């Protein structure tokens, strides 16, 4: 295993309460399903001996320097504080630093029980592991901050969910696996010193430009950045049509990555109130509530930080959420609509567009892609998405009037719009198809889909099928939340 990386395990510098040392519980008959060679190379690794990676994924072997720990955190789940959380089935193995000086946490998800497993078996099933692998890579190639998938292995071991499934593990990597919930735990158990220790750890590793500031200033600026990153992340989700599904504060990354992929969905037909998590009866995490929930999660974090910062600083940081969200949302929607000039009334056009898409159940991704290609393909593909073409025509007229005030050429606009309006997204039915094949031992469709999702903004003439409307069976799939 040739490599160009340094080993660190800075998480172990935190007080003991933040983790428990746990060895993985081995899986049987493991085989490699996907190995992300491009990412591995960025991290300073080469695939080399696949068998060794498979053994690591199966929890049978560790590289020298790996020292697995389950992280302790707490958090608010569906608005209720739960003090009993922590890595119930994942282990942080070590941290490495790649040739570009980027830090990577290696987290083996599905590695067996830990002291924080509660009633869980510590395992992850093949289905949910494939979903996480696919979505984290899809997000990355869409340009949205996310944890990544380094490799996944599947095994024969049976796992009981709604039915009997089989086990898999994911080597999830990210610059940090520290969650908002780590801070909720810190204040809950250790108080001010523990909190300060954790905050300084995060600032040192991930916000080093703030490190030399005096305490008050450092924490205020840091919280402001975390709040703003969270706001911008949620704005990215809204504008690409992504529904996270379980925005509990233990699933919120302190560096603003999309984190923990459960019953997520990319919207097909635009539905503002879409709930992708079928156990979310009240629709707390519905698509159109995500911006507000992002803010509520920032409030949980801010409340935990009160012993460290004055109330005024905390409130000031929180106030930056709305502005960061609105600015990023508006900027991205202008780009999606191809508006290079900023006009006050743009927000009205944007809101009108969302209302129309909602009312007429228009496919979100295809609509914007067809709009991007207007100069090349004309209005036909846009109109074809509507049952009532007069609705499309009226909207197109308003839109064209706005475009007439622009100065870019149609060709320039088309190029810019194609670079922000994806043609290929991870529709739930596409994931479902490759999962069904994988469950019979055929991983080729999974590999193929991963390749398609690497180039979401490109025309891929041979892969048109992946950009089509979902078939009837594939709309509003009831995705199991068990994982
Ligand atoms: P999640 O809903 O996946 O974010 O998980 C919430 C909490 O439950 C986390 O603390 C997980 O580690 C834990 N958890 C989820 N599934 C399992 C499982 N199968 N075994 C043990 N713990 C689990
Ligand atoms: Mg979680």
* Predicted TM-score of the model (pTM): 0.97
Supply the mean pLDDT for the chain: 97
Residue 211 has pLDDT above 70, yes or no: yes
CA distances from residue 207 to 9, 68, 184, 201, 439 in whole angstroms, order as listed:
18, 25, 20, 9, 42
| pLDDT band (50, 70, 90) for residue 473 | confident
Give me 398's structure tokens: 């308003």
pLDDT of residue 2: 52
Residue 1 has what pLDDT?
A: 53
Q: For the chain, which residues make up each domain, given as ranges?
A: 2-174, 180-334, 343-483
Please identify, by atom number, the ligand 1 atom nearest to the C-alpha of residue 262: 3
**Counting ligands in written order, which one lies closest to the CA of residue 116?**
1
Select from 70, 83, 117 the residue to mutate for testing ligand 1; criterion: most ligand atoms less than 8 Å from CB.
Answer: 117
Going from the Cα of 251 to the center of ligand 2, the distance in angstroms, rounded, reads: 5
Task: Determine whether the shortest distance from the Cβ of 85 to ligand 1 is under 6 A.
Answer: yes
250 is catalytic: yes
Q: Which residues contact 242 (CB under 8 A, 6 or more apart)?
A: 139, 144, 236, 258, 264, 265, 266, 267
Cβ–ligand 1 contact at 87 (below 6 Å): yes
Measured in Å, residue 314 CA sits from the centre of ligand 1 at: 30
Are the C-beta atoms of residues 77 and 54 closer than 8 Å to each other?
no
For ligand 1, is residue 167 a contact (CB within 6 Å)? no
> Is residue 155 exposed (0-12), middle (13-18) or buried (19+ Cβ within 10 Å)?
buried
Q: Is 260 in the pocket of ligand 1 (CB under 6 A)?
A: yes
The secondary structure element, H or E, covering residue 131 is helix 126-142
* pLDDT tens track for 42-67: 999 988 889 999 999 999 999 999 99
> What separation in Å is there between the alpha carbon of 117 and the centre of ligand 1?
7
In this structure, which residues have their CB less than 5 angstroms from ion ligand 2?
A: 251, 260
Distance 90 CA to ligand 1 centre (A): 9
pLDDT tens across 70-94, in order? Answer: 999 999 999 999 999 999 999 999 9
């Amino acid at each position: 295993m040739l490599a160009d990386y340094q080993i660190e395990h800075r998480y172990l510098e935190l007080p003991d309460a933040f983790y428990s040392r746990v060895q993985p519980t081995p899986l049987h008959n493991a085989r490699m399903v996907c190995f992300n060679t491009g990412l591995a190379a960025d991290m300073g690794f080469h695939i080399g001996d696949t068998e060794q990676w498979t053994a690591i994924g199966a929890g049978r072997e560790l590289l020298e320097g790996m020292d697995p720990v389950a992280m302790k955190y707490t958090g608010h789940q569906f608005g209720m504080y739960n003090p009993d959380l922590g890595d119930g089935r994942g282990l942080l193995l070590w941290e490495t630093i790649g040739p570009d000086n980027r830090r990577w946490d290696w987290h083996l998800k599905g590695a067996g029980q830990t002291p924080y497993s509660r009633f869980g078996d510590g395992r992850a099933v093949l289905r949910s592991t494939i979903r996480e692998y696919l979505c984290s890579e899809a997000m990355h190639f869409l340009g949205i901050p996310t944890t990544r998938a380094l490799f996944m292995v599947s095994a024969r071991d049976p796992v009981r969910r709604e039915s009997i499934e089989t086990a898999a593990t994911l080597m999830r990597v990210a610059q940090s696996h520290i969650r908002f919930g780590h801070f909720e735990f810190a204040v809950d158990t250790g108080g001010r010193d523990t909190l300060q220790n954790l905050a300084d750890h995060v600032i040192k590793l991930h916000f080093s430009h703030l490190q030399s500031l005096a305490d008050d200033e450092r924490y205020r600026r840091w919280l402001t950045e975390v709040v703003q990153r969270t706001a911008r992340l949620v704005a990215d989700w809204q504008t690409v049509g992504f529904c996270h599904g379980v925005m509990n504060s233990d699933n919120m990354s302190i560096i603003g990555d999309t984190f923990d992929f459960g019953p997520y969905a990319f919207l097909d037909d635009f539905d503002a109130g879409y709930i992708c998590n079928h156990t979310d009866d009240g629709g707390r995490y519905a698509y159109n509530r995500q911006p507000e929930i992002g803010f509520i999660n920032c409030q949980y974090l801010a409340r935990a930080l009160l012993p460290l910062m004055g109330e005024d600083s905390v409130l000031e940081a929180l106030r930056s959420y709305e502005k960061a969200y609105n600015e990023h949302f508006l900027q991205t929607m202008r780009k999606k609509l191809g508006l290079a000039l900023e006009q006050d009334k743009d927000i009205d056009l944007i809101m009108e567009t969302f209302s129309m898409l909602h009312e007429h159940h228009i496919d979100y991704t295809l609509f914007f892609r067809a709009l991007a290609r207007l100069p090349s393909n004309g209005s036909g593909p846009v109109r074809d998405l509507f049952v009532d073409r007069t609705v499309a025509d009226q909207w197109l007229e308003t839109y064209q009037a706005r475009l007439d005030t622009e100065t870019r050429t149609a060709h320039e606009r088309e190029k810019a719009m194609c670079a922000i309006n994806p043609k290929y997204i991870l529709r739930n039915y596409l994931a479902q198809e490759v999962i069904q094949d994988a469950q019979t031992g055929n991983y080729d469709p999974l590999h193929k889909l991963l390749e398609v999702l690497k180039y979401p903004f490109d025309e891929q003439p041979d892969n048109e099928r992946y950009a089509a409307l979902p078939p009837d069976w594939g709309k509003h799939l009831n995705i199991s939340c068990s994982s």
